[in-house]
Amino acid sequence: MIACRENLNFPLVSIYVVVKNAVNTIKRCLDSIVLQDYPNIEIIIQDGLSTDGTLEIIQPYKNKVILESESDSGISEGFHKAIKRCNGKYIIAILADEELLPHAVSSGVKNLQRFPEADVICGDINLIDNEGKIINQLESREWNYESVLLSEYCPFFCASFFKRTCFDAMDLMEIDPVMYEGYVDWCIWWKIGQTHSVKYVPGVVSNYGIHKYQLSNTVDRYYQHIDVRLKMIEHITSSEKSSSKVKKLKKKALAGCFLHNAERFVAFDSNKEAREEIIKALGYKPNMYRLLTLMSLLSQKGVDVSELLTLQIRMQMFSRKCMALIKLFRVKDIAIFGTGLSGEDTYQLCLNNGKNILFFLDNSAKKQGNKFLGLDIKSIDYLDTYASPKIEAIVIASWSGGKQIKSQLLEKEFKGKIIEYLA
C-alpha cells in the first residue's frame, strides 16, 4: 500500500510497531496491518536490534514498511522514537505479538469522525496465545481518569486510535523512557487524559497476545516495575500541572499500585506474593471492593488471610463493608446513593452480580433530574412517591453525605433496606 498524506477522503493513518526478538509473532502482526481494508496507511517498525531472525522475517515487507533498527534502552524508548516518526493524522500503536482485525483502522477513523469531540477512541480486544488462537475476549469501559490513576483499569493501547494532535501537544521528553520503562503507555494515558477527550466505543478491533514468552506478564516483571509505577504516582500527584483533586488521590493511587500487582499475582497463582502486596496496600488507602475480592480469592485458594483481617481492623469501616457485601448478594432491585467515582464502582459491582439498578439518588439539586450511567438521578424525596416495595435495598456508595442520607432514610422507614458504605 502507498501512503498519501493529502488524501482528503482517507486521511493518513500511522501504525507503528515496537519490536525486539519476536520471531514467533511478527509475521502475523505485519500481515494483520497489510490486510487492513483502509487504503491509506503508513507502517513504521521500530526494532531494538533483534538477533533472533525477526529482521529476516520483516525483509519481504520492506516495500510496504518504514523500518528502523537501532539500539534503545527498552520498549519505552522504542515508543518515543516511533511516535516522533509518525506522519499520519491518526496514530495507532501495537506490539509485535498483537494484531489488528481487518476492519480496525477503518473503524477507528470512522469513529473519530463520528465523534469529532473525541481525541482518542478506545475499543475491545481478543486475548490470543502464542499461536494466534483466541482464548478470551475482554471489554474495556467508559473512560474514567481517576480509575486509570488508581490502577483500577487502563484502556487497551492496541485497541486505541489517537489523533496526532494528542502527541503534538504532549512533551514526550517529560516521560523519561528510562525511568518509566515498561509503563510508557500508562504514562501517555495519564498525560492525554488530563487535557484530551477519550471515548470508549464497544467493539473488538485487535488481538492482544498473552503467552509464556511474554516478558510483561511475569511476577518478576511486576516486581521490577513496581518502583517505576510508584515514582510515576509521586510525580503525577505532586506535579504543578495536576489538579488539586488528583493530588488528593495520592494514597489511594499508591494503594492501587500494590492491589494491581496482587490481582496479577493471583492470576498467575502466585498467592504468597499476592498476599505480600495486599499487606503493602494496607499502608495507604486501598479500595475496599478490590481488597475484599482479593482476600476472598486467596481464601478460596487456601491462603490464610486472618492476619490481613487483623490489620484491617484499624480501618473503621471494614466490618460494615463485609456485612454490606453479604446483604447485597441477597437482594435484586436496588437504588444507589452517590453519583461520583464511588457510585460508578458500586454500579459496576451490582451490575456484574445481576442486580437490577432502578435509579440513583443524590442530595445535589444540580444533579437531580439528570442522568448518571444512563439512569435517572432522583432526590431522596422521590422515595415518598415511589412504591417502596419495589426497592429491596438502597446502597449508600458515597462517603460524602453518607450519614445524612442514612438519617433521612431512617425517617422514611427504610431501616431494613439500607446497605452502607460499599465504596
Whether residue 289 sits in one domain with residue 173: no
**Predicted structure pTM score:** 0.70
The answer to whether the beta carbons of residues 50 and 21 sit under 8 Å apart is: yes
The answer as to whether 188 is a domain residue is yes
Residues 331 and 408 in one domain: yes
Is 17 in the same domain as 126? yes
Residues 59 and 202 in one domain: yes
pLDDT of residue 311: 55
pLDDT over 70 (residue 98):
yes
Domain with 135 in it: 13-209
Looking at the structure, do residues 204 and 224 belong to the same domain, yes or no?
no
pLDDT-derived band at 342 (thresholds 50, 70, 90) equals confident
Higher pLDDT pick, 325 / 116: 116
Does the structure show a pLDDT above 60 at 174?
no
**What's the mean pLDDT in 16-23?**
91
Domain boundary among 246, 280, 315: 315
- In terms of domains, do 81 and 188 share one? yes
How many whole angstroms from its chain centre is CA 101? Answer: 21
pLDDT tops 90 at residue 33: yes
Per-residue confidence band for 84, with pLDDT thresholds at 50, 70 and 90: confident
Check pLDDT > 50 for residue 165: yes
Same domain for 204 and 224: no
For residue 2, tell me if it sits in a domain: no
- Domain closes at, from 209, 236, 263: 209
Q: Last residue of a domain, which of 268, 297, 315?
A: 315
Report the sign of the C-alpha dihedral through residues 160, 165, 168, 169, in that order. Answer: negative
Contact criterion met (CB below 8 Å) for 325 and 292: yes
pLDDT in tens, 113-152: 999 999 999 999 999 887 888 999 998 988 988 889 999 8
Residue 308 shares a structural domain with residue 334: no
Q: Are residues 303 and 337 located together in one domain of the fold?
A: no
The top-scoring range by mean pLDDT among 39-48, 234-243, 324-333, 349-358 is 39-48
364 and 282 in a common domain: no
- Number of folded domains that form the chain: 3
Distances (CA, A) of 86 to 46, 118, 292, 305: 11, 20, 44, 50
What region does 182 belong to: left with phi over 0, alpha with psi -120 to 50, or beta?
A: left
- Residue 176 and residue 141: Cα distance in Å, rounded? 28
67, 38 contact by CB (below 8 A): no
- pLDDT of 375 over the 70 cut: yes
Domain check: are 301 and 173 in the same one? no
How confident is the model at residue 322, as a pLDDT?
66
pLDDT at residue 238 above 80?
A: yes
The one-letter amino acid at 38: Y
Whether the per-residue pLDDT at 316 is higher than 50: the answer is no
364 shares its domain with 239: no
Listed in sequence order, the residues at least 6 apart from 225 whose beta carbon sits closer than 8 Å to its beta carbon are 181, 182, 183
| Span 357-382, average pLDDT | 87
Which range among 198-212, 297-311, 354-368, 370-384 shows the weakest confidence by mean pLDDT?
297-311
